[in-house]
Structure formats: structure tokens, C-alpha cells
């Protein structure tokens, strides 16, 4: 497989979230800060919380997700975050990207083979094998699944709730970006393709769908990279900036609130910016396989240890 790097694309975004805390002692968890990876590098960022609050940050080593935690007193709470990131995509000819045998998958990737709360791959296994099981394994099969979801589910603003699953979307054939992502993930996992749910922003989306918003898309582990897919088709994958990733939406909410709180407003912008040398690379749609995550390194199982465990289990 021939992996190359494209030109650096600089993206800037801003987020402002406002709340009214009705009772002191409310706890917040936010996923609004850009993940930092080898191919998504933070150039500049600024976090403001008003009124001034103490907070804690945690970075998940497996996904690079950055979690912000704070406790707020009663009254107004405003969280603002501005960021500029450089995206250096790895790209490949889709026909050269193969599916990785389960025995060769890094340990960190294995959880993304299993059914999860919103992605019931076990319940969609029969359909997945009937519809896609005879296709050649690899990126081309994955793209066929992505295209099927895009063409058989109608993007319908306001049609989804927080409890809708992949099976629900498969039955109703309508939803929003998170529903498209959950369905594609479930179908891919049913065919032994590791798939994860990712949040970013809907750069390139049709303005008729509403103002700029958070966006859900999919990354699949093929070969030794996590490749980008947008089954809803509303965003331009080359302009996606990763915030959080996980098994499904339950791992990636931009805000989780514990306490008596009233959300007031949400404001977001995202745009391409001139890079270090003044060049402006506008994200565009393309037919290449794109990745901003080279995948985990050095996490293989030890064959000797596995063989010993199996031997002991047989004796017992």
C-alpha cells in the first residue's frame, strides 16, 4: 500500500457555549478541544471560562480525546474555545488499502469490533453479510457501505433523539449525522472492520441545513491507518477536525452535564486559514483514501504468552 502525505491544510474554529446554572455545584464535562495527533497539530488555542473557574484536563492516550472538567456555581457560565490546527493528511489509492486480519490488529483497535450501545452490529450481521459480504475486502467494500448508507437514509433535521440506535435508523431510513455514523459503524463491525465514532464540525455543509454545528463521522481501521468516512455526505472530509472519538456517541458528547442547568446558546465557526507560508489550501472533495491518524504502534500481542495461557487452560 502506497501512503503519501498531501499539502498541509490549516483550519480554524471557534466554539462558544452558554448555560444558566440554577443550583451551585453543577459538574460539566466538555469535549470541544482539538485532539493532538501526529497529523493533526495544534498551532494556536485559547480557552476562556467565565466567570473564572478552576478546571481539570484529561487526555485519553488511545484516542487523543481531551476532556475538560469543571464545577460551576449558580449563575451564568460561558465556555469559549478558539483553535487553529494543521492537518497533514495521509492519502492512498483506495484500491491499495486492504482490510487487516484480526490476528494482526493492534490491541487498542480490538474494542471497535464489538457491538456497542448505539451500534448493534450483531443485530445487523445477517443483512451486512447478505448485502456486502461477497465484495472484496478493503477500502472499496467500506466505501460501498458508506455509499449505501448515504443513499438509503434521508438526512432529516430534527428527526432524531438521543436514544436512537443504528437498528432504529435502519428501520426508519431517516436521521441526522450521528445516525448515519452509527449505522455505517454497525454494518462495518458486522463484517469485522474496526469502526469508531468521531466528532468534529460540519465544514462544507449546505447552509440550508442550518448554522455551523458539531458533526459526527466515521473512521475505519484499514491497513495500518484510521481512514475518514462521512456517510451523511454533508461535510467535506478533508476539512474535518477531530475532537473526540469512541465506540459511539455515548463516548463523544461535546457536553455532559450533572446538575440543575439550563443550556442557553451554542455558537460555532469553522474555516480554512492561510498556513505558515501564507498558502491557503481549501478542503475539497476527492476520491482518495484520507487519514489524519496513523494508528497505534507497538501494541501487538505476544504469541508465546497466548500459547502458554491456552496450554494452561487446557490442562486445568
Lowest model confidence (mean pLDDT) among 3-7, 36-40, 43-47, 53-57: 3-7
291-311 per-position pLDDT tens digit: 999 988 655 555 544 444 443
Per DSSP, the residues of 253-271 read -SEEEESSEEEEEEEEEEE
| Cβ atoms of residues 179 and 102 within 8 Å | no
Asked if residues 116 and 248 have their Cβ atoms less than 8 Å apart, the reply is yes
Please state the domain extents for the chain: 4-86, 90-251+280-295
By mean pLDDT, which of 62-66, 118-122, 262-266 is the weakest? 62-66
4-86 is a CATH 3.30.70.270 domain: no
Distance (Å, rounded) from C-alpha 103 to C-alpha 55? 41
Q: What are phi and psi of 271, to 5 degrees?
A: -160, 155
| 230 or 1, which is more confident | 230
Output the average pLDDT for the chain: 92
Closest alpha carbon to 190 in 247, 136, 119:
119
pLDDT tier for residue 314 given thresholds of 50, 70 and 90: very low
Average pLDDT over residues 19-24: 97
For residues 12 and 208, give the distance between their C-alpha atoms in angstroms, rounded to a whole number. Answer: 22
Give the least confident one: 86-95, 147-156, 259-268, 289-298. Answer: 289-298
CA distance 290 to 308: 40
Q: Which three cell numbers stand for residue 156?
A: 432529516
CB atoms within 10 A of CB 160: 19
CATH node for 90-251+280-295: 3.10.620.30
Shared fold status for 4-86 and 90-251+280-295: no
Q: What is the pTM of this model?
A: 0.92
228-234: average pLDDT: 97
Between the alpha carbon of residue 192 and those of residues 103, 121, 138, the distances in Å are 11, 10, 11
Please report the pLDDT score of residue 62 as a whole number: 84
Amino acid at each position: 500500500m502506497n501512503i503519501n502525505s498531501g499539502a498541509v491544510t490549516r483550519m480554524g474554529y471557534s466554539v462558544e457555549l452558554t448555560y444558566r446554572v440554577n443550583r451551585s455545584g453543577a459538574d460539566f464535562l466538555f469535549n470541544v478541544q482539538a485532539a493532538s495527533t501526529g497529523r493533526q497539530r495544534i498551532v494556536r488555542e485559547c480557552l476562556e471560562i467565565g466567570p473564572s473557574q478552576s478546571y481539570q484536563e484529561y487526555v485519553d492516550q488511545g484516542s487523543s480525546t481531551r476532556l475538560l472538567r469543571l464545577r460551576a456555581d449558580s449563575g451564568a457560565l460561558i465556555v469559549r474555545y478558539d483553535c487553529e490546527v494543521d492537518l497533514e493528511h495521509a492519502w492512498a489509492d483506495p484500491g491499495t488499502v486492504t482490510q487487516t486480519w484480526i490476528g494482526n490488529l493492534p490491541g487498542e483497535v480490538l474494542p471497535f469490533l464489538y457491538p456497542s450501545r448505539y451500534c448493534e452490529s450483531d443485530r445487523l450481521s445477517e443483512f451486512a453479510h447478505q448485502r456486502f459480504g461477497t465484495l472484496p475486502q478493503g477500502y472499496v467494500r467500506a466505501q460501498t457501505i458508506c455509499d449505501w448508507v448515504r443513499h438509503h437514509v434521508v438526512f432529516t433535521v430534527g428527526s432524531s433523539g438521543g436514544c436512537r440506535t443504528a437498528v432504529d435508523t435502519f428501520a426508519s431510513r431517516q436521521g441526522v449525522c450521528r445516525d448515519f455514523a452509527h449505522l455505517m459503524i454497525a454494518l462495518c463491525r458486522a463484517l469485522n472492520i474496526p469502526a469508531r465514532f468521531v466528532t468534529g464540525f460540519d465544514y462544507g455543509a449546505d447552509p440550508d441545513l442550518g448554522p455551523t454545528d458539531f458533526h459526527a463521522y466515521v473512521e475505519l481501521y484499514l491497513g495500518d491507518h484510521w481512514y475518514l468516512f462521512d456517510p451523511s455526505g454533508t461535510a467535506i472530509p478533508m476539512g474535518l477536525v477531530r475532537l473526540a472519538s469512541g465506540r459511539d456517541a455515548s463516548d463523544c458528547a461535546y457536553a455532559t452535564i450533572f446538575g440543575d442547568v439550563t443550556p442557553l446558546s451554542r455558537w460555532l465557526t469553522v474555516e480554512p486559514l492561510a498556513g505558515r507560508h501564507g498558502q491557503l489550501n481549501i478542503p475539497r472533495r476527492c476520491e482518495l483514501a484520507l487519514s489524519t491518524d496513523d494508528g497505534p504502534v507497538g501494541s501487538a500481542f505476544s504469541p508465546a504468552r497466548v500459547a502458554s495461557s491456552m496450554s494452561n487452560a487446557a490442562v486445568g
